[in-house]
């Protein structure tokens, strides 16, 4: 997350400085820390991740009966790997602009599901800060997607290797 988009934000778009973004993130973290409820006595049904079938995992995650780390980390790691590979291929000219759009569109539905399950399971932690940070990371994923939409719409020639893409060259303008 933010490997390719933040440098473009600070160097080309220039909406704000890194200090301003950091202060917004700190204020948002404080607000999320204040409003996040947690249950330190919760044991949960999410011991080992491999002990549940996929159906039970998705069901318990949806109704909020798993520990936070069990629902947060698997999706977060897969999401970041897929975003990094997609952006790396797009900046290298191996992905067309349309393919890049499609990958982000395909990732949108699981991100909505992940948002709901992280929000519901963020109370299942022993530290309130971890619940607030998990919610913050979910919100930062939406910021990343909004930033990539802005880059796609207004700054495609900076991000994509348009000179290498012959079939989809018109999408760079």
Per-residue pLDDT tens over the stretch 46-76: 555 567 788 888 899 999 888 888 899 999 9
pTM, entire model: 0.81
- Mean predicted confidence (pLDDT) in 96-111: 87
Position 161 pLDDT exceeds 70: no
Q: What is the pLDDT, as a whole number, of residue 40? A: 65
Residue 135 confidence class, pLDDT cut points 50, 70, 90: very high
Residue 3 confidence class, pLDDT cut points 50, 70, 90: confident
Q: What is the pLDDT, as a whole number, of residue 78? A: 94
Position 110 pLDDT exceeds 80: yes
Residue scoring higher pLDDT (2 or 135) = 135
- Helical residues (DSSP H) of 36-127, grouped into ranges: 54-63, 68-91, 97-121
Measured in whole angstroms, how far is the alpha carbon of residue 59 from the centre of its chain?
Answer: 22
- Mean predicted confidence (pLDDT) in 120-126: 87
Residue whose pair of structure tokens reads 């790691």 in the numeric block: 77
Residue 130 backbone phi and psi in degrees, to 5: -65, -40
Q: What is the pLDDT, as a whole number, of residue 48? A: 56
Position 22 pLDDT exceeds 70: yes
CB-CB contact of 67 with 44 (8 Å): yes
143 token code pair: 């910021």
Q: What is the pLDDT, as a whole number, of residue 44? A: 57
Residue whose pair of structure tokens reads 């080992």 in the numeric block: 48
């Amino acid at each position: 997350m933010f490997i390719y988009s933040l440098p473009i934000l600070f160097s080309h778009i220039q909406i704000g400085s890194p200090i301003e973004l950091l202060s917004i993130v700190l204020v948002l973290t404080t607000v999320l820390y204040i409003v996040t409820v947690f249950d330190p006595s919760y044991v949960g049904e999410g011991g080992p991740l491999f002990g549940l079938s996929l159906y039970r995992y998705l069901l318990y995650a949806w109704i909020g009966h798993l520990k936070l780390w069990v629902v947060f980390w698997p999706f977060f790691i897969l999401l970041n790997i897929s975003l990094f590979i997609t952006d790396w291929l797009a900046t290298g000219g191996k992905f067309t602009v349309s393919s890049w759009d499609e990958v982000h569109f395909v990732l949108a539905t699981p991100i909505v599901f992940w948002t709901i399950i992280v929000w519901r399971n963020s109370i299942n932690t022993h530290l309130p800060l971890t619940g607030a940070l998990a919610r913050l990371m979910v919100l930062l994923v939406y910021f990343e997607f909004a930033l990539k939409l802005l880059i796609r719409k207004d700054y495609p020639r900076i991000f994509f290797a348009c000179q290498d893409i012959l079939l989809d060259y018109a999408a760079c303008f």
